[in-house]
Each structure stands twice: as structure tokens, then as C-alpha cells.
Amino acid sequence: MSRAWIALLLAGLFEIVWAVGLKYTEGFSKLYPSLIVIGAMIISFALLSQALKVLPVGTAYAVWTGIGAVGTAIFGMILFNESKDLIRILFIFIIVIGIVGLKVFSK
């Protein structure tokens, strides 16, 4: 896997951190969770920016948001007792298939 794809994967993982972390900031009224969220945002955007030097913007952005959406949905189920309905899990899986497809078929 190229460095750009690794940077994109890490950017997506940091997107999960800041998206989930937003819940803990309580509207940015709590200092430490807010600092973690802001730090994760900066790292996520910086890594996405590095990946965009090589990867097509449409592919990279779709993969980045896909990783963030899937990861955030999974952590929402685990941490916040969000719905674990089979249909919801099916659609999350469809997003994963899309992410893998973009990786496999991008030039």
C-alpha cells in the first residue's frame, strides 16, 4: 500500500476520533475533550491533505468520509447504545464495500 493510502487510512481513523469526541465536548464546553477533538481534526485534515498530493480528490474524500462514517457508526453503537438493527449494519457494510471498491479500482 502506498504512503498516500496509509495517510488516508490514518486520516480516516483520526476523523473517527474527532467525530466521536464531539459528543464528549458538550458543545466545546469541556476543555480536555475539546482539545482532543481539535487536535484530531488538525491531524486528520493534515493527513488527508498529504494523501491528496497523490490520490484523486473524489476518491480520497469518499474514502476518508466513508472510513469516518463507518467507524463513527460502529462506535456510536458501542459507546452510545445506538441502534444495532440488522438493516443499519447492512448499510454500513455497503459503505465498506464502496470504500474497498474505490481502493481496488482507483489508479
What percent of the chain clears pLDDT 70, i.e. is strictly above it?
Answer: 99
Q: Is the pLDDT of residue 13 over 90?
A: yes
Q: Is the pLDDT of residue 1 over 80?
A: no
User: What is the tens place of the pLDDT at every residue in 54-81?
Assistant: 999 999 999 999 999 999 999 999 999 9
pTM assigned to the model: 0.91
Q: Indicate the average pLDDT of the chain.
A: 95
Distance CA 39, CA 55 (A): 24
